[in-house]
Amino acid sequence: MRRSLIAVLVAALVGAAFAQSEDSQWVCPAGFEGQTLNVYNWATYIAEDTIANFEAACGVNVVYDTYASDDDMLVRLRQGNPGFDLVVPSDVIVTLMVDEGLILELDKANIPNWANLDPTFLDLPFDPGNRFSAPYQWGTVGIGYNVEKVGEISTWAELFAYDGPVAWLEDTTAFIGVGLIMTGHDPNAEGAAAIREAAEFLIDNGGNVVYIAKDDGQEMLVRGEVDIAVEYSGDIFQIMDECECDTYAYVIPEEGTNFWLDNLVIPVGAPNKALAETFIDYVLDPHVGASIANYTAYGSPNLAAIVMELIDPELAEDPGIYPSAETQERLFFATQSAEREQLLFEAWDEIRIFIGR
């Protein structure tokens, strides 16, 4: 992260003023009645009542579709926007979408709740000035595991050495970033030789892999098909919450891992940009933002929600969701370019062929 969350929180407590008061309720601007909003988001990535409450507040209809990976979403939009008003790419994908002219600039005059956002998650290198993107949720790529079968695990090295079934995550940038870390390179190294070395390491150490999961490794873990799943943090915390047991755990590996920020963006060709910006403002309300974070168990970029203590204390105090300053030092934002993306995809295709999954 750019700077410590603790420092930002202290600054906020001494003098920040937020767009919403503690007992406020979001009010939809007039004029949207009868309109439709088309949202394309990851699965299991919004609270159960978020959409219904927005529909009721604005008198609109929301068509909500889901995808399993950034790559799936990006491929679809590169073929031409079929009618989506909002999509939810990760930071590294925002870079590509901006470069390729796939998303529109935001009109922040339509998003007064922007003032609730934590400055830590603003003006980042993938979108300087946040011209195109609004922070949605954040988390890490880490290790989810069955404690009863594995015991304890805290490193990538232990994952690769584990004698039992493992699922990797279909996240090319993040996972090859792990391979780069394990071979002594910067996780964002762009050189073909470094990426080749990372790919060879993953091939050589992928003998325990039974599945490369498209954001469903947590389900394989619950079904007992794998003992360990590399997954997005919130997906593992969701099964931990549903289980109400001590069977599962999540750890940020000691060697370091990908810290990502997902964002709300409006694709070129969106039929209803104004309603999309209104939805972004709704999501940035502290109560709505907290509701989403409490349901999904991902980190919230909504500083107002945190200072107002709207985040479930069990989640807010869990270092796997809101890591300590020390752990933050081991996290990396992924960077991307069209040339690097191509190298990563070629390496990942080879990894899948050798591992056979």
**CATH number corresponding to 5-137+261-323:** 3.40.190.10
Q: Does the structure show a pLDDT above 90 at 244?
A: no
What is the predicted pLDDT for the residue at 25?
Answer: 87
User: pLDDT for 39-58, tens place per residue?
Assistant: 999 988 999 999 999 999 99
Angle, CA 306 vertex, CA 312 and CA 284 arms, to 5°: 105
Burial of 16 (0-12, 13-18, 19+ CB in 10 A): middle
- pLDDT value of position 338: 84
Q: Is 117's pLDDT higher than 90?
A: yes
Mean pLDDT (the chain, rounded): 91
Identity at 215, one-letter amino acid code: D
* Fold of the 139-259+328-355 domain: D-Maltodextrin-Binding Protein; domain 2 (3.40.190)
Q: Closest Cα to residue 96, out of 172, 187, 43?
A: 172
* Per-position DSSP letters for 57-98, written without gaps between them: HHT-EEEEEEES-HHHHHHHHHT---S-SEE--BHHHHHHHH
Top-confidence residue, 10 or 17: 17
Closest-CA residue to 251 (of 271, 269, 237): 237
pLDDT tens digit string along 209-230? 999 988 789 999 999 999 999 9
More confident residue, 3 or 256: 256
Average pLDDT over residues 176-188: 97
pLDDT at 24: 54
How many other C-beta atoms lie within 10 A of the C-beta of residue 269?
A: 15
| pLDDT for 254 | 96
**Which tens digit of pLDDT belongs to each residue from 281-339?**
999 999 999 999 999 999 999 999 999 999 999 999 999 999 999 999 999 988 888 89
Could you tell me the pLDDT band of residue 357, with boundaries at 50, 70 and 90?
low
CA atoms of 199 and 87, how far apart (whole Å): 30
The token duo for 33 is 């009645």
Enter the DSSP assignment of 334. -
Say if residue 96's pLDDT is above 50: yes
**Which tops the pLDDT comparison, 262 or 18?**
262
| pLDDT per position as a tens digit, 231-242 | 999 999 999 999
Fold match, 5-137+261-323 / 139-259+328-355: yes
Which DSSP helix (H) or strand (E) runs through 331? Answer: strand 331-332
Q: What is the pTM of this model?
A: 0.85
Structural domain spans, the chain: 5-137+261-323, 139-259+328-355
Tell me which DSSP letter residue 153 carries.
-
Taking the C-alpha atoms of residue 193 and residue 195, their distance in angstroms, rounded to an integer, is: 5
Statement: residue 18 has pLDDT above 60: no
Residue whose C-alpha is closest to residue 71's, from 353, 301, 357, 349? 349
**Is residue 158's pLDDT more than 50?**
yes
% of residues, the chain, pLDDT over 90? 85
- Residue found by looking up tokens 């295709």 in the block: 349
Reported as a single tens digit per residue, the pLDDT across 131-154 is 999 999 999 999 999 999 999 999
Query: In the predicted model, what is the mean pLDDT of residues 26-38?
Result: 98
Quick one: average pLDDT of 73-82?
Answer: 96
- In this structure, what is the dihedral angle of CA atoms 191, 192, 198, 200, given to the nearest 10 degrees? -160
